[in-house]
Structure 1
Amino acid sequence: MDETISDSPVPWVADHIRRFVETGGNPRPGSNDLLLTTRGRRSGKLRRTVLVYAVDGDRYVVAASAAGADRHPAWYLNLVADPDVTVQVGPRTIPAVARTATVAERPRLWQMMIAMMPSYQEYRRATTREIPLVILEPRLPASPYRQKV
C-alpha cells in the first residue's frame, strides 16, 4: 500500500502545513496547531491537514467545523471510517485513536474550543449541522510486562 502522505488540496491549508513542517511545528507562535493524518475512506491513501486544538488532559480536541460549511470535512469522514490516526504537535509525532465526543462531553469541550478560537461560534451559527468535536487519544505502546491470555 502506498504510504505517501498527501496534504490537503485546499491551497491555504497546504501552505499552512508547509509552514508547520518548515518551522518544526510552530507556524503561528501563540496558536495551538497540529497536523492530523488520516487514511482516506475510499482511496486508502494517507491524508494530512492542519487544525487548531485544545488540550484535555493527555488528549487533544479538534472541531470538524469546515468553517461552518453544511458538510463535514473529509478528514472527519476519514477518521470515522478508520479511527487510527497520526498527530503531530510541535516536532513530536504520535499514533492516536480518534473518536467523536459524546453528548455528555460536548458542552465542556465546546467551551474549550471557543476559548481557543472564538470564530467557532460563528461557524456554529453558519450551519444547521452539529459540528463534531473529535478527541484524539494517544495510543499507548504495548507494555512488555503485559501477559498474553
Structure 2
Amino acid sequence: MPLGVKLVQKVSSTRAFAKVAPHVVPAMDRAVHRLTRGKVLLSAQMLPGVVLTARGARSGLPRRTPLACMPEEGAGTWLLVGSNFGRTGHPAWTGNLLAHPDAEVSWKGRDIPVRARLLAGAEREEAWRVLLAFWPPYATYQARVEREIRVFRLTRRSEDVAA
C-alpha cells in the first residue's frame, strides 16, 4: 500500500479529523463536482466516491451529499457506509435513504437512478468484512461509537439497467 494512502488512513482515523472533515470535505467535493460538471470529486482521489441525491426524510426536498463508496466490481452496485467519521449520530443521508430508498448517484459524470437497501445480519457482516479490507479506518469509526454503523447497498433501478 502506498505511503500516502497509509498516511490518509491514519489521519482520517483521528478525532480531530472527525470534527473538521464533515464540514470541510463535503463542501469542497460539492464545489469541485459542480465546477467539473460531475466528473471530479476531490475525496475520490483517495477513495471512490459518488454524489448521492436523495429526498430529505422530512422535507422531501432533494439533498446532494458527496460520499465515499465501494463499487462492487461486476455487480453494478455500490456500498455506502454511514460512518459519520466516527461521530455519535447517524449521518442525515442515511435517514433520508431509509425514508426514501429511491435515489440517484452521480458516478464518473453520469447520473444513475438507484434503490438503496440497508444491510442487516449475515449480509451486513460479509459486506462489513469486505469494507474493512477496503478502508481499515471504518473499524476505528465503529469502535468509537455505540451505534451500529449503517451499511447500504445501492442497486441500479430497472429503468437504467439497459443503459
Unaligned runs of 5+ in 1: 1-8, 144-149
Partner of 1:79: 97
Preserved CA contact (<8 Å) 1:61 1:135: yes
Equivalent in 93, 97, 103 of residue 111 of structure 2: 93
Following TM superposition, the consecutive aligned residue runs of length 4 or more in structure 1 with deviations greater than 4 angstroms are none
Q: CA deviation at 1:71?
A: 1.3
Q: Give CA-to-partner distance per residue, 1:2-55, whole Å, 9 cap, x none.
A: xxxxxxx93431112222333413434352011111111111111111111112
Partner of 2:55: 39
Partner of 1:25: 40
1:108/1:88 Cα in 2 relative to 1: closer, same or farther (>3 Å)? same
1:108/1:122 Cα in 2 relative to 1: closer, same or farther (>3 Å)? same
Task: Tell me whether 1:122 sits opposite 2:140 in the alignment.
Answer: yes
2: distance between equivalents of 1:73 and 1:53?
A: 15
SS in 2 for 1:70: coil
1: distance between equivalents of 2:64 and 2:152?
A: 16
Alignment of 1:57-76 (within 5 A): 57-76=75-94
Percent identical pairs in the alignment equals 33
Preserved CA contact (<8 Å) 1:97 1:136: yes
2: distance between equivalents of 1:22 and 1:142?
A: 26
The residue type paired with residue 109 of structure 2 is: P
The residue type paired with residue 84 of structure 1 is: D
Alignment of 1:100-111 (within 5 A): 100-111=118-129
SS in 2 for 1:105: helix
Q: Give CA-to-partner distance per residue, 1:91-147, whole Å, 9 cap, x none.
A: 11101101101212112211222233221111000000000100111101189xxxx
Unaligned runs of 5+ in 2: 1-21
TM superposition score normalised by structure 2: 0.75
Which one has the bigger helix percentage?
Answer: 2
Aligned length: 135
1: distance between equivalents of 2:131 and 2:106?
A: 18
